[in-house]
Amino acid sequence: MTIQWYPGHMAKARREVATAIRWVDVVLELVDARIPSASRNPVLGELIGDKPRLIVMTRDDLADPDVSRRWIGFFARQGGRAVAVDARSGRGLRGIGGAVRELAAPSVERWKKRGVRNRGVRVLILGIPNVGKSSLINRLAGRSAAKTGDLPGVTRAQQWIRTSEGFELLDTPGILWPKFEDPETGLLLAATGAIKEEILPLEDVAVFLFKRLQLTYPRALAGRYGDLTGEPEDWLEQVGKGRGLLMAGGRVNVAAAAELVCREFRTGRLGRISLEKPPDEAASEGVDKG
């Protein structure tokens, strides 16, 4: 199954980014800490090229902290640099400022040699939809500088924002790639809310979550939904019945049950869960966290 979609505003955003990236010193590439690989847009990698970049793992308050530490180590082994942040509480944000200054130092020095000394460090913020760009910008700016929301596609136009540290941030709309050849990538993105519900049915996403959590966080799954029997495809009926999500005639509202499961995962009601491990751990067993 190939999942294909590419809204017009994303194609436009890609063209704008290709132009803007020439004028910035550092790129902040935002990824979701729960799915650091699936939420990395390969198109952005092509656009960034050899521009200095810092990988910012957002929503770390919802991810397994041990797995996040391992992802930071993985990126370091690949020659990159990454930090994990929680924009809502501000945890981890201090690491961004120092890293940006270090990465921008060669560019700043070149500007000084040209006689430009008061130019702020220009930072381009890139990522997929609903990865927390606006929330991070508001934290860095110390005010509500960018529109925020829980739905993908809230930011539709570029805007420059100055921070208290003297950085000039360029916000851009979230960009997805034209199609997902690997259906699991689409399911991971749907699970975290990065793509709209019209693209993948929530029932499919909820069953995918059941299967992944059964392998990696069975205690968290059982702690939230009790003893689920049979196959994961049957569990929405059991969850719906247990939560009283019934329609006329006593039938379970499976759609409502799927929405419940996805919402509870996205909001952390199942605990701090990571859906991906670093690739160099692919052969290891799943983690069993409560």
Instruction: Return binding residues.
Output: 130-135, 174
pLDDT of residue 191: 96
Superfamily classification of domain 3-179: P-loop containing nucleotide triphosphate hydrolases (3.40.50.300)
pLDDT of residue 6: 55
Instruction: Return binding residues for GTP.
Output: 130-135, 174
Break the chain into its structural domains and give their ranges. 3-179, 201-267
pTM: 0.87
Q: pLDDT tens across 172-195, in order?
A: 777 776 667 788 998 999 999 988
Q: What is the dihedral of CA 57, 62, 64, 67, to 10 degrees?
A: -10
CATH code, 201-267: 1.10.1580.10
Q: pLDDT tens across 242-264, in order?
A: 999 999 999 999 999 999 999 99
pLDDT band at 8 (very low <50, low <70, confident <90, very high): low
Q: pLDDT tens across 71-115, in order?
A: 999 999 999 999 999 988 889 998 999 999 999 999 888 888 888
Q: Can 3-179 and 201-267 be said to share one CATH topology? A: no
pLDDT of residue 276: 96
Q: pLDDT tens across 197-245, in order?
A: 777 899 999 999 999 999 999 999 999 999 999 999 999 999 999 999 9
